[in-house]
Structure 1
Amino acid sequence: MEVVETCAKGTLSSGEPSNKPGITSIYDDDEVVGFEKEAEIIMMKLIRGTKERDLISIYGMAGLGKTTLARKVYNNPYIVNHFDVKAWCALSQVYNRTTLLIEIFKQATNDEIEIKEEDDVADMLRRVLIGKRYLIVLDDIWDVEAWEDLGTCFPQGKYGSRVMVTTRIEQVAKYLQHHSDPYSLSFLTSEQSWKLLEKKVFQGESCPLNLLEAGLQVAQHCKGLPLVVVLVDGFIAKMKRETSLWLEVANNLSSLALGEQSMKVIQSSYDHLEDHLKPCLLYMGLFPEDHKIPVHDLLKLWMAEEFVLNAETENMEEACRVCLSDLLNRSLVMVSGTRVNRDVVYCSLHDVVREFCLRKLTEDNYIQVAVPYNPYQHLHSTESRLCIYIHDDLVKQLDYSEYQLDKIPMLYFKETNSLEFIAHPKLNTWNNQYSNPLDLVVKFRFVRALYLMDVELPNSWATVLQSLTQLRYLALYVKQFQLKWISHLHHLQTLHLKTRKRIWLRASTLWEMTKIRHVNINRSSVVWDFNDEGSCDETSTTMLENMKTFHTCNICLDNMNPGFLWRFPNLEELGLKMKYVPEFPLFPIPEVYTCLHSLSLELSSLKFWDSVGWKSNFVFPPNLRHLYFAGCFLREGMVSNIARLRKLESLTLEEGVPCRISESESLYCWDITNVEFPALKYLTLLRWHIDEWKASEESFPVLEELSIEATGQNFKEIPPCFADISTLRLIRLAYCSHSLGVSAMNIKRDREENTGCDSLQVLGVINN
């Protein structure tokens, strides 16, 4: 992938870092073989030609790589620095104009301007773009009405602005033509197809001679469609490397008609899936087109629907992660976003794969057999379950039919009591325009997963939930909440809660929910009530052994027994935003929390200076691999405590302050010359108040990536010793001083002179 290296104002982009823990993609980059010439043509259309606003169209069938080509051009260094403003948005057959304009506006302004409900976003966007050379990408336009709906928001002018669109429909591309001719994306040649297939199957190595002829036949019968090449790789890479097996694949492909090729190839990939992976994939088809599915939600939904069963319940999360990795590695699911350590945060389905899933789901009127997957149940069992998600059309029909489900044409089922689950992920398509969602929810007594975060529910929600005793996954946005209102949900695994008022979590009620695994509470203040007798008695054996993750905002720890976390012996992730600095150690015996590998701590800005002496009350659990620390005065003792974490791989420090250089000076220096972080691979400093940084080569012996963002103009130099860290391969800067960018480039130059190879990338947005 292309890389930008500059210290001038501009956006720098690069390939994602390479690391293997967690869920990762098999792809090392998103470049499709054979697009070099195409990318050059599109770039010339963007840069040269008329000074007036122009529209550049790329069209072709699904799976040709239109989006990949557009991305390759969009992220090219020359394009990045040529345009003042860039924005990318994906359309779908059904889209929300306001939502799209807000997304473009946020990218155009770097999300620096708050949008209010009463604002005219279209007019705000026009005013932002006037007088600038902008590039807007509209990915996957289906009809000309979409352009007529959005195009008026992109002002004319003689600044060389461009709008780039991708579409499957040639007539749409020709209708949108301004000055430049639409570009028809061609199929790959047989040579290009083989080059791509060989790269994917053998991970950059050459194909053995005994498989070469069979491999060439497989590539030839992919008929130039990159999607087919990648999907074929998804299952032949797992086959034995035998000529006869590869020739069988080639012969099957050769009999496919081009029009149905994608569907049949996906069917072939689907047929090769293990039985428990099939419902996992089809379930993803219920998400909207182009939806970026949060992995942490998807895995919890799979668990709730019992698609993935594991005899050892404590490994259910890991079993789900393995399933997603399998689907990623077979190229049936795409990566849409990753963390700095390359863990997949968002995933999505290619349009063709999603269309296949929907076809499978609609073959029997949205009835999917053998869901959840049961290893002791035949795949084609007659015990069927309905796959459905809440959306405006469904709510409208329910409203018209007085909520008599058997009268709704889109459902086509007789036994309404057979509904066991309803899949309605976070959607913008359900705007609650027609009725109270609770009127619908009460009809589904056997629902397992319920997501209601997009609409604040009335106070009657608790009464409605009394009948939903099978819930495993519950996400709510409510005005007020008490844990006792859902304590009857004995199967509940995931609770995601957003509320405006203070929440009192009574410990004795919590101990009743023995199957709870994941708790996430947003926005509200949380107070733990441990006053009930026996709840915080250290001799008590009450444990929530299944609890894996706990995240909450504005928690008050002042009235909490310091040993409350003992009740969660298998906790893996903990996130706390604390209103006050605790007067006791959060982990009194750190060695007890052996399972905790991810910790996020954020201190209220109002209590920042109270954290000066916090180190005496705080020691971290020893097995932490990921630590996020915000709003803390980072004295030497605290740094030493962090350095003692021998397994720590990623460290993020936000809005903190190191020690002063001296009491007489107001300069802050982070001196870690004699401190070593032995396993740290990823270091991120966000909005850190720092004037000087001192370190040695031994401070970060295995560091791979350094990210610095918005640290202020006084921070002017990265320690030169970073040039001697042989493992360092990426420095990413965002909104930093020009001199800091210069120091990063000096480190890169020193590395090249010392090693003779260009192994370090410098990327970012640099202020003048």
Structure 2
Amino acid sequence: MGTRILNPPFIIVISEKSCGCQLRLEMAYASLLSLNQTLDKFLHPHDQTEQQHIMRSLHEHVSFLLSFLDVSSPQNSDILSSLEGRIRDAAYEAEDIIESQVPNQILPEWDQKFERLQKIIQELSSISDEVEKMTERNEIQVLLPSNSLPAASSKSRSTNKSSTVGLDEDLMKIKMLLTSPHSELVVVSILGMGGLGKTTLAKIIFDDSFIANHFDVRAWVVVSQTYREQEVLKGLLNSLRGLSHESGEESIEKLAENIFKILKDKRYLIVMDDVWEIQHLNRVKSLFPDNNNESRIILTTRRSEVAKHASHLCPPYHMRKLNVEESWNVMHEIVFGEERCPPELKELGKKILMDCRGIPILLVLFGGLLYKSERTLHYWTHVAMNIRYVANTDYGILLYISFIYDQLPHHLRACFLYMGVLPEDYEIRRSKLTKLWVANRFIKPDRSKSLEEVAEEYLKDLVDRNLILVREWSYRGEIKTCSIHDILRVFCLMKAEAKNFNLDVEYVPEVHDNLRQVSILTDLKNQIPRLALSRDRDLSIRSVTFFFRNSPNDIHFITNFWLLRVLDALTISFEEFPVEIVELVNLRYMALTYWMKHRFPASIAKLCNLETLIVNPGKFRLIFNTSFLPPEIWKMSRLRHLLFVRSYLPYPTHALKGGTFVPLENLQTLSNVINFRWTKEVLEMMPNLKKLVISYEHDGRTEWSSYCFDNFVHLHQLEVLKCFFFAKCYMKYQDPLSVSFAFPQKLKRLTLSGCRISWKNMTVVGSLSNLEVLKLKFHAFEGPVWELNDGEFRRLKLLLIHMTDLEHWKVNETHLPTLQRLSLRYCYNLVKIPSGIGKIPTLEEIMLCECSTSLVTSAEFVQKEQESLGNNGFQGSDSAHLLGEA
């Protein structure tokens, strides 16, 4: 009944605190899945050569073992541990042999490879035989159709009611401290071990409407154990400005100066989350002026000496464990929600929560496990027996997490453990994370869905299990950004050691056959000699991610990683395109920060397997912010996502002048192209676009009709469209956009800017039956009056109007029946919010920024109207920093 921690290596994390950590993971399923996708590329049904015979034989064994792991119960983990190691090693070696021949496509030196592949097939055949025998002897349990709840994105279970259980009294005490009449700056410390909910408590207080109204400005910054001053200050400044995910290059001194200026003479609340060292506290605190106006700081820490040092005016607030009743309320809320726990499971549930010892994170994790599992007496008994075993050991929380990890379906394990690549407290966008999972081949193909859609289902499943935290939700109720709890990240890193739990390795480990991922969190100047490889080309490394701002001169070692699939180097600023990268022909994901005064070389087409290309202009964002793609981009048929700040995409037939090009049938995202013409020929080249961001500069001569906007209607898969129209710098306004444009009915999110269309033509947008988010920016529509028509905007949830000359808006409660959020910015002429808005039952929030006094007054009237309808959760705000993006 033991619980395993240690497995062969998968990731190396090169950090400041420890030069290197090898992350050892169970990657049997992931390695088989990756090999299976590699084989799919090489199999040719009608080819009867010896090479193809070997490929087909290998494919049969891989498919069998994948199918077996798909239906294998998590309760088989201990029995299968030795087999999984053999499977992983064999699959990795086979894939290395096959992929190393990709540039030639015909497997040269086959005679030298043949014998080794034959042995690998024999090994997989032997494993398959052992699996079949175990199954026949009933030693292995097979999953039956489950009655578990579906993997739906639900932010209600663990993040709402259950997060406040047992905290009501604590919340009241801390709120009183924050609003006490002491004029000088006071620090309120929240102290406790990892997993007790310090950050959760601080977040609830930070978001409290009473607290928000009490302070002029609020900001949140994560300090963390791996303190990097520039990143901390940048995060703090972005929070103060109401920004997120910015990539500024300001110096530490400039950042500190800007922070001080914003806070000067304001009553502020700053949350410093996860502080480990007194010197880090002192440094950040020194940036804050003591305005003698009741400003406050909330500090969360695990270390008592930090909490005691923080303030002499306020003793540390100690987080406590939950009692039995509170623990049951947390677990019941997560597992059953509004349903009642079946009587036969209640006693087992109480046993499980008793062994969680009142530690909130364990209650949340085991709640997530039971929520996603079968509600049977047999399975709950299995969990209760194992948690009792764990509770009687000395290994603490991490062994509990190890058991929970062992209960994960095989297809989720690699995705979860990949979170260990991220730095401590790192917040990653959902869209980026899922692209990385796809590029690393963690996602099992499904013919009815795209790989990205399957990846999002995996993410929602892990969120439902509380193994991944949602940091920000979109207005549409979708995950926007996420992260992993520190303790869960430590669990991933705990797999770093073969024989103990020590994370402090004094050297960068040798690169060896099982190492697949490299995550770099520190300056590489002194590490390069240790990264020197013993061979000219390494065949194991598949992913390199930089989180530290290294010099381009220090990263040339990556060209040795010949089979590299993922290169995420957004933290490194290239002044010239690193042309040596185009030799890494197995790249599937490449993200660069590149000074775009240089064009992309034609040789980029060598990256024939590239699926995602992301380019950020970095510090030259506002100057040289346009990239020039080569005509050869039209030869890269595997492209799925092209993301730029601004780019010129050559027209296909003209650019190639009769050369070879292929339809980009896999392309889903194109962002952002300038002055591109959407002819029928182009539409046929990109039939599966789902997200499109485009910009147009008006020169006063070109007719809008030449860009063929009316053809948008033929982009049948398009769900997100953002169109920006603006004049050349010497023109105040461009000509209004022609109203001959049309949109596809599948469209869910639409942003328009600078179109200058009459409000009378809004029916073109209002008739979109699936539209949920509409953002109208910088005179997208013009005119003094907008009157909605019946039957329009039936599903709209978010409406943003930014900078308009609109004066009178005519709406009744039937026009926007599903509206949840209304945001009005710089609407100086708009007299009032229509009274009909106040009668919309779904309305949750109105946000105003720089609007007229009469508009603010009408918003207050709407709030009263909503309260009279029983909607006490309605929010109104005229604070610019509260405005968000969908």
State the TM bucket, normalised to the shorter chain. Answer: 0.7 to 0.9
Shift in Å at residue 525 of structure 1? 4.6
1:546 correspondence with 2:666 = yes
TM-score (norm 1): 0.84
User: Where does residue 102 of structure 2 map in the other structure?
Assistant: none
User: Where does residue 390 of structure 1 map in the other structure?
Assistant: 520
1:431 correspondence with 2:584 = no
Secondary structure in 2 aligned to 1:579? Answer: strand
Contact 1:676–1:698 under 8 Å retained in 2: no
User: Where does residue 604 of structure 1 map in the other structure?
Assistant: 726
In 2, Cα distance between equivalents of 1:41 and 1:614: 60
Shift in Å at residue 532 of structure 1? 4.4
Shift in Å at residue 487 of structure 1? 0.4
Cα 1:139/1:533, change in 2 over 3 Å: closer
1:455 correspondence with 2:572 = yes
Secondary structure in 2 aligned to 1:683? Answer: strand
User: Where does residue 387 of structure 2 map in the other structure?
Assistant: 253
User: Where does residue 764 of structure 2 map in the other structure?
Assistant: 641
User: Where does residue 762 of structure 1 map in the other structure?
Assistant: 875
Shift in Å at residue 224 of structure 1? 0.7
1:488 correspondence with 2:582 = no
Shift in Å at residue 365 of structure 1? 11
Secondary structure in 2 aligned to 1:388? Answer: strand
For 1:449, give the aligned amino acid.
V
Contact 2:518–2:544 under 8 Å retained in 1: yes
Shift in Å at residue 604 of structure 1? 1.6
**What does residue range 246-645 of structure 1 map to in structure 2 within 5 Å?**
246-255=380-389, 256-257=391-392, 260-310=395-445, 312=447, 315-363=450-498, 384-398=514-528, 400=529, 404-405=532-533, 417-424=538-545, 427=547, 429-432=548-551, 436-459=553-576, 461-462=578-579, 464-479=580-595, 480-482=598-600, 484-499=602-617, 500=624, 503-507=627-631, 509-528=632-651, 530-532=653-655, 542-553=662-673, 555-557=674-676, 561=679, 563-580=681-698, 582-584=704-706, 586-590=708-712, 592-606=714-728, 609-616=733-740, 618-636=741-759, 638-645=761-768
For 2:773, give the aligned amino acid.
S
**What does residue range 154-233 of structure 1 map to in structure 2 within 5 Å?**
154-233=288-367
Cα 1:47/1:569, change in 2 over 3 Å: same
1:138 correspondence with 2:272 = yes
In 2, Cα distance between equivalents of 1:501 and 1:151: 36
Shift in Å at residue 270 of structure 1? 1.0
Cα 1:611/1:640, change in 2 over 3 Å: farther
User: Where does residue 15 of structure 1 map in the other structure?
Assistant: none
Secondary structure in 1 aligned to 2:799? Answer: strand
In 1, Cα distance between equivalents of 2:499 and 2:745: 53
Cα 1:55/1:363, change in 2 over 3 Å: same
User: Where does residue 220 of structure 2 map in the other structure?
Assistant: 88
Secondary structure in 1 aligned to 2:410? Answer: coil
Secondary structure in 1 aligned to 2:395? Answer: helix
In 1, Cα distance between equivalents of 2:268 and 2:463: 34
For 2:878, give the aligned amino acid.
V
Cα 1:741/1:702, change in 2 over 3 Å: same
Shift in Å at residue 359 of structure 1? 1.4
Cα 1:652/1:535, change in 2 over 3 Å: farther
Cα 1:746/1:309, change in 2 over 3 Å: same
Cα 1:122/1:649, change in 2 over 3 Å: closer
Give the alignment's Cα RMSD to 1 decimal: 3.1
For 2:821, give the aligned amino acid.
L
Contact 1:24–1:344 under 8 Å retained in 2: no
Secondary structure in 2 aligned to 1:94? Answer: coil
For 2:738, give the aligned amino acid.
W
**What does residue range 635-714 of structure 1 map to in structure 2 within 5 Å?**
635-636=758-759, 638-656=761-779, 658-660=781-783, 668-674=784-790, 676-703=792-819, 705-714=820-829
In 2, Cα distance between equivalents of 1:748 and 1:128: 30
Secondary structure in 2 aligned to 1:264? Answer: helix
Cα 1:324/1:363, change in 2 over 3 Å: farther
- How many residues are paired up? 702
Contact 1:64–1:187 under 8 Å retained in 2: yes
Shift in Å at residue 146 of structure 1? 0.7
Shift in Å at residue 299 of structure 1? 1.1
Cα 1:608/1:637, change in 2 over 3 Å: farther
In 1, Cα distance between equivalents of 2:634 and 2:448: 18
Contact 1:734–1:765 under 8 Å retained in 2: yes
In 1, Cα distance between equivalents of 2:463 and 2:710: 41
Shift in Å at residue 252 of structure 1? 2.6
Cα 1:295/1:611, change in 2 over 3 Å: farther
Secondary structure in 2 aligned to 1:320? Answer: helix
In 1, Cα distance between equivalents of 2:192 and 2:794: 50
For 1:750, give the aligned amino acid.
E
TM-score (norm 2): 0.74
Secondary structure in 2 aligned to 1:392? Answer: coil
**What does residue range 21-36 of structure 1 map to in structure 2 within 5 Å?**
25=155, 27=157, 29-30=159-160, 31-36=163-168
In 2, Cα distance between equivalents of 1:693 and 1:21: 41
Shift in Å at residue 179 of structure 1? 1.0
**Amino-acid identity (%):** 28
In 2, Cα distance between equivalents of 1:313 and 1:389: 33
CA displacement, residues 155-193 of structure 1 (integer Å, 9 cap, x when unaligned): 235322222100011222122232111111000111101
Shift in Å at residue 123 of structure 1? 3.6
Shift in Å at residue 237 of structure 1? 1.4
Report 1 or 2 for greater relative contact order, CA contacts < 8 Å, sequence distance ≥ 6. 2
CA displacement, residues 298-325 of structure 1 (integer Å, 9 cap, x when unaligned): 1111111111131539621111111111
User: Where does residue 107 of structure 2 map in the other structure?
Assistant: none
Secondary structure in 1 aligned to 2:367? Answer: helix
Shift in Å at residue 682 of structure 1? 2.1
Shift in Å at residue 766 of structure 1? 4.8
Secondary structure in 2 aligned to 1:145? Answer: helix
1:58 correspondence with 2:171 = no
Contact 2:185–2:294 under 8 Å retained in 1: yes
Cα 1:385/1:642, change in 2 over 3 Å: same
Secondary structure in 2 aligned to 1:699? Answer: coil
For 1:682, give the aligned amino acid.
L
Contact 2:151–2:464 under 8 Å retained in 1: no
Cα 1:257/1:21, change in 2 over 3 Å: closer
Cα 1:282/1:742, change in 2 over 3 Å: same
In 2, Cα distance between equivalents of 1:220 and 1:520: 50
Cα 1:271/1:595, change in 2 over 3 Å: same
Cα 1:386/1:252, change in 2 over 3 Å: same
In 1, Cα distance between equivalents of 2:457 and 2:181: 50
Which protein is richer in helix relative to its size?
A: 2
CA displacement, residues 692-740 of structure 1 (integer Å, 9 cap, x when unaligned): 211233321332x132142333323111112332333333334444432
Shift in Å at residue 236 of structure 1? 1.0
In 2, Cα distance between equivalents of 1:92 and 1:77: 27
Cα 1:188/1:262, change in 2 over 3 Å: same
Shift in Å at residue 266 of structure 1? 1.6
Secondary structure in 1 aligned to 2:875? Answer: strand
**What does residue range 47-126 of structure 1 map to in structure 2 within 5 Å?**
47-48=179-180, 50-110=182-242, 117=251, 120-126=254-260
Secondary structure in 2 aligned to 1:204? Answer: coil
User: Where does residue 377 of structure 1 map in the other structure?
Assistant: none
Cα 1:124/1:748, change in 2 over 3 Å: closer
Shift in Å at residue 674 of structure 1? 4.9
Contact 1:728–1:760 under 8 Å retained in 2: no
Shift in Å at residue 109 of structure 1? 4.9
Contact 2:787–2:809 under 8 Å retained in 1: yes
For 2:485, give the aligned amino acid.
H
Contact 1:385–1:418 under 8 Å retained in 2: no
In 2, Cα distance between equivalents of 1:752 and 1:44: 26
